[in-house]
A = this chain, B = another copy of it.
């Protein structure tokens, strides 16, 4: 059994890691760290786990955590991760970081969008944990930078076109809609029930922190520069991201041709489902699962591809992809622990 620890166990991504790992046949959860719930049973943070897991949360101390685990998931805020991760690596642990701290290769870009980086030497070593693009390097990585939720939806939706060089102007528009769990387990007034329910608004326009991450990865695929106009919106649902991509095509293309490219690109991927023409992606159909559902068509008058990419932001957008990365790192079947069927309704 692989011994797994979670730092930041009582946020939504942490809770989702617990939920998934409880069903993983090769993993045992051996330690949970949480500043807020230190000294208290995990049941206090998540009554849903009552009777399923008997662990008391401990104060986050990476040295101590390292003694108890083979792999550590850091589901902590950016800034906090860059403190803990170097210690965990020094202790010889595999680390899967769910924060943003190791996603950007360029320190200056990181510091422009976030804060000064205290572990910049690890930026190069870290592997961007999107298995559909980087499976081989993930297999041998010690430090995985788990992708952001929006970048996951956008990149998986765009990658086949970008890779084939079908994108006019090396640019796209991503209009993304996210459920509220994407904001974390928050106590901000602006995420309180009555401020989100029956509301509908964009935020962080036009510069959201996930933008440089998308552009970096799409540029890597394109083999050059790539730019994105990105507008995220907050939706009154718990889980799910739907990214609607508008991509100008280099030459006249039919919806069928496009669909064929996507089918070929993802035919061996266990968690990407390319939908038939009469079926549009819906976050309700991936809830609780590690699937990314992609549907698409060409708007003929503008010769523009419209791609709809749906994920559960807490699973494929966070904890699920983290476990998928762990499976790859440890040589396990990639689907292990990730076979749960979407919960609908």
Contact = CB atoms under 8 A, between A and B. Distances in A.
Interface in A260-296: 273, 275, 279-289, 291, 293
A333 interface: no
B186 A302 contact: no
A53 B301 CA distance: 38
A141 to B, nearest CB: 28
Q: Is the interface of A mostly helix, strand, loop or mixed?
A: mixed
A80 B171 CA distance: 45
Interface stretch (A105-113, A119-127, A226-234): A226-234
Interface string A72-108: 0000000000000000000000000000000000000
B193 A283 contact: no
Contact of A235 (B50, B175, B200, B344): B200
B189 A189 contact: no
A49 B242 CA distance: 19
Q: How large is the interface on A (under 10, 10 to 19, 20 to 34, 35 or more residues)?
A: 35 or more
Contact of A282 (B199, B238, B297): B199
B194 A229 contact: no
Nearest to A199: B284
Interface stretch (A15-23, A128-136, A323-331): A15-23
Interface of A: 12, 15, 18-19, 22-23, 43, 46-52, 171, 173, 175, 177, 179-181, 185-189, 191-203, 205-206, 227, 229, 231, 233, 235-240, 242, 244, 246, 273, 275, 279-289, 291, 293, 297-302, 304, 306, 308, 310, 339-345
A180 to B, nearest CB: 4
A233 B180 CA distance: 17
Contacts of A341: 18-19, 22-23, 48-49, 52
B237 A280 contact: no
